[in-house]
Chain A
Amino acid sequence: MTTRRSALQLASRAFPEPFQNFLVGRLARQLKAELCEKMTDDFLEALLRGMDWAFLLSGSYRRNIDGFCGICVFRTLDNKVSTTAVFEDGHMSVEHQARYTYNVRVSFQDVHALWSFLLSENQDILDSILANTVDVDGNLNYLYRFGFLAKDLTRRLGVA
């Protein structure tokens, strides 16, 4: 972690949790816009960036990944877009390419399919499978945990 990020994380501890969530909300504006206004191809990136801010600024959100080590790969079915979220020692880092070794890999047709699979209030997992819009390889439990993190973030942002 950079010195600046460490300092931010340290400083955020002085704030009560509602204010931490407020800060996350301010910094994760793009994700809110993606969820509340118009979803674009940047949805996944906005989600991961929002999670990153939340891990940095919110102690209770960070607690979700205490001791968690795992690699989640997200890619489009055509393999044109790939992102890896790496969880290690209570931190998350994002790589803009797919790792070959992973705990779980989610391949999705488009961001709407991914959103429906991960975040929709009425998740239609069966429909996602029916339509073959999402394919999962690896340990599903890592995906379930990632799903919780995503939902917890949107709850904090007040959009769930």
Chain B
Amino acid sequence: MIATQEVPLQEVKLAPALRALREAYFQAIPEVCVERPRLITKFSVEAGLFERERITVLEKARLYRRVLQHRTPVVWHKQGHKRTATGLEEFSFDDSSPFAGSTTSKFKGVPIYPEFMALALWPELWTMSRRQSNPYYISEEEIQALNLEVFPFWMDHNITELARARGTEEDRRRMQLLQKFVFFLASKPNCISHTIPDFSRAVREGLRAVINDALERQERSTDQRQQDFYQAMAEVLEGIIAYAHNLADAAAGMATRATDAKQKAHLTEIAKIYGRVPEQPARTFREGLTTIWLCWTAIHLENPNVGLSLGRLDQVLYDLYRRDIDAGRMTVEDAVQLLGYVWLKIGDHVPMVPAAGEQLFGGTGSNQAITIGGVDSEGHNAVNELTYVMLRAIELMKLRDPNLNARYYPGVNGKDYLRRLCEANVNTGATPALHNDRAVIRALTASGHTVAQARDYGVIGCVEPGSNGRFYGHSGAILLNLPSALELTLFNGRHRHFGLDNVISMETGDPYTFQSFAEFQGAFNLQLHWVLDQAIALNELFGRIHQQFYPTPILSALFEGPMESGKDLIEGGATLNASGIAIIGFADVVDSLNVIEKLVYGQQPSDNTLFRAIAKNYEGYEALLARVRNPEKVPRFGADEVNGEKNAIWLTEVLHEATHTRRNYRGGYYRVGYWSMTNHAGFGRFIGATPNGRKDGENFSSGLTPCSGVTPHMTAALHAVANLPAECISNGMAVNLKFTPDDGDRTRMLDNFTAAVAGYFDASADHGTGGMEIQFNVTSHRDFIEAVKDPSRYDQLLVRVSGYTAYFKDLNPQMQKEIIDRTEYRLSSGDAVPYEPFALTKGADHDN
């Protein structure tokens, strides 16, 4: 047990000032910040960038440097807006955070990126502060700023439009598919993101050393493009230093005016630290955190935060932590408080989500993952004291962002550590997510990482693993609606959503006429390839547009690889490259294949009743529906060890084969993962009844989780997931499990919890590596139901969606239903608890 004097770590509480700031944070609704788009637009006009056929990295760098120099240095925030019975109202609070600066000019801001999707907010500017779900505050002056000074300039110049105008007719047809949301979503029109920067060098050496390195390389290089790239790196890093110095000056000015001696000293200390870092090497834990925090704000100036992640902070900062503790400069309690303040800073912005997005992604944060624990690059136990301190800070703060992910290497990391991770899940209800190092490292080495690189993985966004600070894997590049491929197979290249008169993809035969399940699988494989082809072609187009118009000098300057290669990240400068596809609706497709195999082609002759039933949404086929839904009658993924898993393994292998040899525009390869965020609810609305007994418009199962209601025993469900080949799942997976919180014997509950995870991760069983990932909701069914009825009583209820954490109240009704309906297991027995499906009130499914 780690202790500070006589206080055990688990008894460390939040200091009153931090607790009060956290309360203000929960009260505050997000506010649209127009500072960035105003500056970006103004300086782009002045630099003539709207007239360019291509924007160079140096032009971008100079633009960002100017913005960093000119943005308002906010040391502390004093005001926010909160919801009241009559609308939104301003409120004041005390902020005395040791960390100055913020992602936007607001306490909790919505950053605006007109280069990407911000123009979608245009028609909503007057109404967004009134929308029921996740409103944003914006003043009239700010509305006019966006309407008159910003948005008009970007109408022909945002990434989507640049791609549409420069793409082929075929590309435009694919973009039409994208707009329909039915087959896939692509995230490149919205961001260059989903990766982990490398903070270690900035912390260890300071940005001045990185600038000097870049300028020396520029001097040595004979290649003009390389010279420009190194100059660009220096420009943006100078910009970050300038921003830090502006904050230092602002803090010093406030200190001069302060009348309270304690506050004066506090501000003077901030001024001193910001005058030093990130320019110079960090000497203390607090300085290290400041360096990371300031670099983090700069990265978000350049790119929207969609799964940008902080990586292995317990490794990057451990030496500084140890030194401070050993020298008596800091107590463990101090460290927890510092982390609490940083967590609040990290969560100081929310992604811009327009009304339509609210229905698909409502409640999502930026999914900023932090990774703790696991092994180091040599395979040794990397769990340290700071790992536990971070865990405690997360437990006390219970925030949506950052999204904590804990690594566990069976046999190397201790069981006590695993138990502590389980305990944190019980205490927070939803975090951290747990990752099995053995399986992840196997997956990463199979996809091109060296063993050392793989051992040094961090978690990106939701659950995606990648080597820390050197892997640009854009893991969320494509979100694929897998059941849409099944739909095209069932209807011979047509899709019920578009009407059965139109062939959307290609005719692969009428399943009524197939003679065998193998024939059906063959057709499915062709349709799946067609959907993948469309999504990948579009991803490549957007990637090329990024290369022409959106070089990323800030992210490149904080990454391993670009310095060595002299190339921007989006040109393939990172040490490791890939593009990630998230597969949504996996279990529904697997179970559908299982049902088709048994009930259609498993009969002699084939029985097409099932196809007729799904065409009628099972109306008039109630007996068949009951049979399809009964795991004792039909093999289901997660319920039947042999037959239920065969098609699951086949499908993961097919998806892997279809993607891992496709090279992307940066020289990396595509890889697939199984996590769905909220899209299993959103995508579900576009697909009619499926052969697994799911009715029209109902949710799909989340991530890689077996379908709800058909897996009566936890062990079998976990076993099915653990049996899938890790090598085919290098883009991560999310398995969502819901546990009933035991009111009684907490020790026994934790024993069972730990044993369940250890068993799932266990490689000694017949599955090779053990399961890769697992995450939990530990909240009672009753509390969820109450939270729907009275959200104000549960405004801090944290849940795991499928990958990330969210506040339950922020989720759209369909997503809330999905979480309530997830199979819930009793830890004491491992048996599912029977509940009736939660009934959405009429209209609630689109009441946003």
B498 at the interface (CB under 8 A from A): yes
A15 at the interface (CB under 8 A from B): no
B262 at the interface (CB under 8 A from A): no
Across the two chains, which residue of chain B brings its CB closest to A63?
Answer: B148
Q: Judging by beta carbons under 8 Å apart, are A137 and B176 in contact?
A: yes
A13 at the interface (CB under 8 A from B): no
A124 to B685, CA, bound (A): 13
A130 to B161, CA, bound (A): 23
Tell which of B131, B148, B155 touches A141, judged by Cβ atoms closer than 8 Å.
Answer: B155
Q: Judging by beta carbons under 8 Å apart, are A126 and B125 in contact?
A: no
Q: Chain B, 387-400, contact with A by CB distance < 8 Å: what is the 0/1 string?
A: 00000000000000
Q: Judging by beta carbons under 8 Å apart, are A123 and B355 in contact?
A: yes
A152 at the interface (CB under 8 A from B): yes
A66 to B685, CA, bound (A): 40
* Residues on A with beta carbons closer than 8 Å to the beta carbon of B359: 124-126
B846 at the interface (CB under 8 A from A): yes
Q: Judging by beta carbons under 8 Å apart, are B155 and A139 in contact?
A: yes
Report the count of interface residues on A (CB-CB < 8 A).
Answer: 34
A101 at the interface (CB under 8 A from B): no
B79 at the interface (CB under 8 A from A): no
Given the interface contacts A129-B181, A148-B122, A148-B125, does A141 sit within 8 Å of B686 by beta carbon?
A: no
B contact set with A: CB distance below 8 Å: 119-127, 130-132, 147-148, 151-152, 154-156, 158, 160-161, 164-165, 176, 179-181, 355-356, 359-360, 497-499, 682, 685-686, 846-848
* Residues on B with beta carbons closer than 8 Å to the beta carbon of A142: 155
Q: Judging by beta carbons under 8 Å apart, are A140 and B685 in contact?
A: no
Q: 9 A-B residue contacts at CB 8 Å? A: A63-B148, A122-B355, A124-B846, A141-B119, A141-B151, A141-B154, A145-B119, A148-B125, A151-B126
Q: Judging by beta carbons under 8 Å apart, are B130 and A144 in contact?
A: no
* Residues on B with beta carbons closer than 8 Å to the beta carbon of A63: 148
* Residues on B with beta carbons closer than 8 Å to the beta carbon of A66: 148
Q: Judging by beta carbons under 8 Å apart, are A125 and B356 in contact?
A: yes
A144 to B686, CA, bound (A): 24
Q: Judging by beta carbons under 8 Å apart, are A126 and B181 in contact?
A: yes
Q: Judging by beta carbons under 8 Å apart, are A123 and B124 in contact?
A: yes
A140 to B131, CA, bound (A): 22
A127 to B127, CA, bound (A): 19
A144 to B498, CA, bound (A): 24
A90 at the interface (CB under 8 A from B): no
Q: Judging by beta carbons under 8 Å apart, are B122 and A145 in contact?
A: yes
Can you name 20 extra interface pairs (CB under 8 A) apart from A122-B848, A145-B122, A147-B123? A118-B123, A121-B127, A122-B355, A122-B847, A123-B356, A125-B356, A126-B356, A130-B686, A132-B497, A136-B179, A137-B176, A139-B156, A140-B161, A140-B179, A141-B119, A141-B156, A144-B122, A144-B123, A147-B122, A150-B123
Interface centre among B125, B127, B355, B686 (most CB of A within 10 A): B127
Across the two chains, which residue of chain B brings its CB closest to A130?
Answer: B685
* Residues on B with beta carbons closer than 8 Å to the beta carbon of A67: 152
CB contact list, A35-58 vs B, under 8 A:
none
Interface centre among B123, B155, B359, B685 (most CB of A within 10 A): B123
A147 to B131, CA, bound (A): 16
Across the two chains, which residue of chain A brings its CB closest to B685?
Answer: A130
Q: Judging by beta carbons under 8 Å apart, are A151 and B176 in contact?
A: no
Closest CB-CB distance, A16 to chain B, in whole Å? 17
Across the two chains, which residue of chain A brings its CB closest to B155?
Answer: A141
Across the two chains, which residue of chain A brings its CB closest to B682?
Answer: A126
Closest CB-CB distance, A33 to chain B, in whole Å? 21
Across the two chains, which residue of chain A brings its CB closest to B179?
Answer: A136
* Residues on A with beta carbons closer than 8 Å to the beta carbon of B156: 139, 141
Given the interface contacts A64-B147, A141-B161, does A152 sit within 8 Å of B131 by beta carbon?
A: no
A132 to B500, CA, bound (A): 13
A102 at the interface (CB under 8 A from B): no
* Residues on A with beta carbons closer than 8 Å to the beta carbon of B126: 148, 151-152, 155, 160
CB contact list, A107-160 vs B, under 8 A:
118, 121-127, 129-130, 132, 136-137, 139-148, 150-152, 155, 160
* Residues on B with beta carbons closer than 8 Å to the beta carbon of A150: 123
* Residues on B with beta carbons closer than 8 Å to the beta carbon of A127: 846
Closest CB-CB distance, B142 to chain A, in whole Å? 14
* Residues on B with beta carbons closer than 8 Å to the beta carbon of A132: 497-499
* Residues on B with beta carbons closer than 8 Å to the beta carbon of A155: 126
A27 to B180, CA, bound (A): 38
Closest CB-CB distance, B182 to chain A, in whole Å? 8
* Residues on B with beta carbons closer than 8 Å to the beta carbon of A123: 123-124, 355-356
Q: Judging by beta carbons under 8 Å apart, are B130 and A121 in contact?
A: yes
* Residues on B with beta carbons closer than 8 Å to the beta carbon of A70: 155
* Residues on B with beta carbons closer than 8 Å to the beta carbon of A130: 497, 685-686
A146 to B151, CA, bound (A): 12
Tell which of A140, A141, A160 touches B127, judged by Cβ atoms closer than 8 Å.
Answer: A160
Q: Judging by beta carbons under 8 Å apart, are B161 and A148 in contact?
A: no
Q: Judging by beta carbons under 8 Å apart, are B132 and A144 in contact?
A: no
* Residues on B with beta carbons closer than 8 Å to the beta carbon of A64: 147-148
A130 to B125, CA, bound (A): 24
* Residues on A with beta carbons closer than 8 Å to the beta carbon of B848: 122, 124
Tell which of A68, A122, A129 touches B132, judged by Cβ atoms closer than 8 Å.
Answer: A122
* Residues on B with beta carbons closer than 8 Å to the beta carbon of A124: 359, 846, 848
* Residues on B with beta carbons closer than 8 Å to the beta carbon of A122: 131-132, 355, 847-848
Closest CB-CB distance, B179 to chain A, in whole Å? 7
Across the two chains, which residue of chain B brings its CB closest to A125?
Answer: B356
Q: Judging by beta carbons under 8 Å apart, are B846 and A145 in contact?
A: no
Tell which of A68, A121, A129, A139 touches B161, judged by Cβ atoms closer than 8 Å.
Answer: A139
Closest CB-CB distance, A106 to chain B, in whole Å? 12
* Residues on B with beta carbons closer than 8 Å to the beta carbon of A121: 127, 130
Closest CB-CB distance, A78 to chain B, in whole Å? 14
Closest CB-CB distance, A72 to chain B, in whole Å? 12
Closest CB-CB distance, B812 to chain A, in whole Å? 10
Closest CB-CB distance, A22 to chain B, in whole Å? 19
Closest CB-CB distance, A97 to chain B, in whole Å? 24
Q: Judging by beta carbons under 8 Å apart, are B356 and A140 in contact?
A: no
* Residues on A with beta carbons closer than 8 Å to the beta carbon of B685: 126, 130
A14 to B630, CA, bound (A): 76
A68 to B124, CA, bound (A): 19
Closest CB-CB distance, A145 to chain B, in whole Å? 6
Given the interface contacts A123-B355, A126-B685, A160-B127, does A148 sit within 8 Å of B155 by beta carbon?
A: no
A13 to B120, CA, bound (A): 32
A137 to B497, CA, bound (A): 18
Q: Judging by beta carbons under 8 Å apart, are B160 and A140 in contact?
A: yes
A-B CB proximity, top 8 nearest: A147-B123, A125-B356, A144-B122, A141-B155, A126-B359, A148-B122, A141-B119, A144-B119
* Residues on A with beta carbons closer than 8 Å to the beta carbon of B122: 141, 144-145, 147-148
A91 to B147, CA, bound (A): 17
A122 to B131, CA, bound (A): 7
Across the two chains, which residue of chain B brings its CB closest to A151?
Answer: B126
Q: Judging by beta carbons under 8 Å apart, are B180 and A129 in contact?
A: yes
Interface centre among B122, B497, B499, B847 (most CB of A within 10 A): B122
Across the two chains, which residue of chain B brings its CB closest to A117?
Answer: B123
Closest CB-CB distance, A95 to chain B, in whole Å? 21
A158 to B587, CA, bound (A): 49
A142 to B155, CA, bound (A): 7
Closest CB-CB distance, A130 to chain B, in whole Å? 6
Closest CB-CB distance, B127 to chain A, in whole Å? 6
* Residues on B with beta carbons closer than 8 Å to the beta carbon of A68: 152
A64 to B358, CA, bound (A): 27
* Residues on A with beta carbons closer than 8 Å to the beta carbon of B360: 126
Across the two chains, which residue of chain A brings its CB closest to B176?
Answer: A137
A160 to B152, CA, bound (A): 23
Across the two chains, which residue of chain A brings its CB closest to B359?
Answer: A126
A129 to B682, CA, bound (A): 12
